[in-house]
Structure 1
């Protein structure tokens, strides 16, 4: 077993493809495939499941990757200490639902890293894809919510994929609206108040189940409904069409400007936001740093942390 082979495995997982990893490693695809097969033969386990759509880690492969990352990280520290090598390029990938606080924490992570070279990835994506990303270790951490409606389904899916949910905070539902919306001056609103306004939500692609919706109350009928795929479009439509969406109530003026506000929604429900990770894998230094930044940002917004 060679250190280079461990680096190969890590790069394949980061890319999600042997072909793409070979390009980034500047070696041929057959050479990389042979290196993986040799390592699998040596350790006596299958690391990847190969399908026409690409590769995914096996259960043994996920456990192996956790150890491989630790070894490569420690080897890098040894090289810095005794061979005077510069710190290795820092890597970290996060997948999240569309939350401003997750972006705030990511910004803080990069500022605090102090690295000369880094390659960080933040994916604002669909709920099912967040789970898939963390399951296949394309991302170390995923951020999503649970509530009484989707909890059983989401927990079952996490359990089947050997993922753990770590609560961060629980929030009461709010609507996000433009400061020009007629409801902007209200202390709170009801679902009846919202009937004539366009409802905005994030589309979930082929896994468009109510249980995967990023917004609670996904089964409520709306006369006017618009699905979007990114946060910037959603906020533009909130302003342009006097629309609304439902979320945690955390609005970042730094990221979203001063044109969007939150108003409490009078419903008997709650939103518990947390992070997920593969329970077989020890988080990297950067992933742990990101979790700490998440907690710091959440506390800045005045929300009590859950442990």
Structure 2
């Protein structure tokens, strides 16, 4: 097995085409075909099927693909860390909008303590970020706990960090400030960072308790800056983690707006913030330091998530 063979294999798997793989790798199509043939000889089995409908992986090819991505990821990491004058550590992190406010101060502190550690931070919703975990594009993802772990696939570990109350806010001075039940908020515009399924899972029971059998419509917004700009609009309800309103006061003040938390009679489900990583993740010193610092968040859990909270594995 050679690196150029794995690169050709991954390129073919991603593009479903030998010609396109050759274009992406800046080599000839026969060179790609030769690399795949040599890899299949090494593996002792067929990895790729070519047909008029395109190129597909065999079950053995699918099994090898994940390992190939991991090997190429580690090669690229080594090339990056040892480029120039010496080793340079790097962490690739994914961060969902809902979890970002709860962990941003810790991440800023980590960067302050580790100025020589490079990092890439990608935002977005859970599923695309988890796909990047599988593809070895990301090392870690910090996200709210999924409604159904099995839907996220196999091979991931979910380690709870914080369990926080759900907080709903409206613009200060808005008539919605007087709301004391979710039933008073059905005509408002809701801002939510997760999917429709998550909104349904998170709020259906609470709305049923309030005597409402139909959930309000909501605007899904994954941009923290846009949420900040929209949260103080009239007739708008925004969902945050328990830390968010206080953490965002400065930004809201800069925007010339303000928000007010609602005190409702219904019990809203708590939000669990997790750190997620592959079961086969290679723990570099930088990744281990970040994990250790994130785990210290358990000490400030507002809902008593103890330091020995279990780690959940899928697959």
Q: TM-score by structure 1 length?
A: 0.65
Give the unaligned 5+ runs of structure 2: 208-213, 310-315
Select 1:217's aligned residue among 203, 208, 211.
Answer: 203
Q: Does 1:144 align with 2:137?
A: no
How much does 1:60 deviate?
3.7
Q: 1:65 to 1:262 in 2, by over 3 A?
A: farther
Partner of 1:199: 190
Q: 1:272 to 1:48 in 2, by over 3 A?
A: farther
Q: Would you say the 8 A contact 1:176–1:260 is kept in 2?
A: yes
CA distance in 2, matches of 1:297, 1:228: 26
Please report the RMSD computed on the Cα atoms of aligned residues, expressed in angstroms.
4.7
Q: Does 1:176 align with 2:169?
A: yes
Partner of 1:248: 241
CA distance in 1, matches of 2:115, 2:45: 38
Aligned length: 282
Q: 1:104 to 1:60 in 2, by over 3 A?
A: farther
CA distance in 1, matches of 2:114, 2:55: 35
Larger radius of gyration: 2
Partner of 1:288: 288
Q: 1:261 to 1:268 in 2, by over 3 A?
A: closer
Aligned runs of 1:1-307 on 2, under 5 Å?
Answer: 28=27, 42=42, 58-63=62-67, 65-66=69-70, 85-88=85-88, 90-99=90-99, 100-115=101-116, 118-125=118-125, 127-146=126-145, 150=147, 154-158=148-152, 160-182=153-175, 189-202=180-193, 204=195, 208=196, 210=197, 212-213=198-199, 216-217=202-203, 220=207, 221-223=214-216, 225-251=218-244, 252-253=247-248, 256-258=251-253, 259-260=258-259, 262-263=261-262, 265=264, 266-267=266-267, 269-296=269-296, 299=299, 304-306=304-306, 307=309
How much does 1:120 deviate?
0.8
Superposed CA offset, 1:33-72 (max 9, x none): 87677567546689999998999x9444434555665677
CA distance in 1, matches of 2:55, 2:252: 40
SS of match in other structure, 2:151:
helix
Q: 1:71 to 1:182 in 2, by over 3 A?
A: same
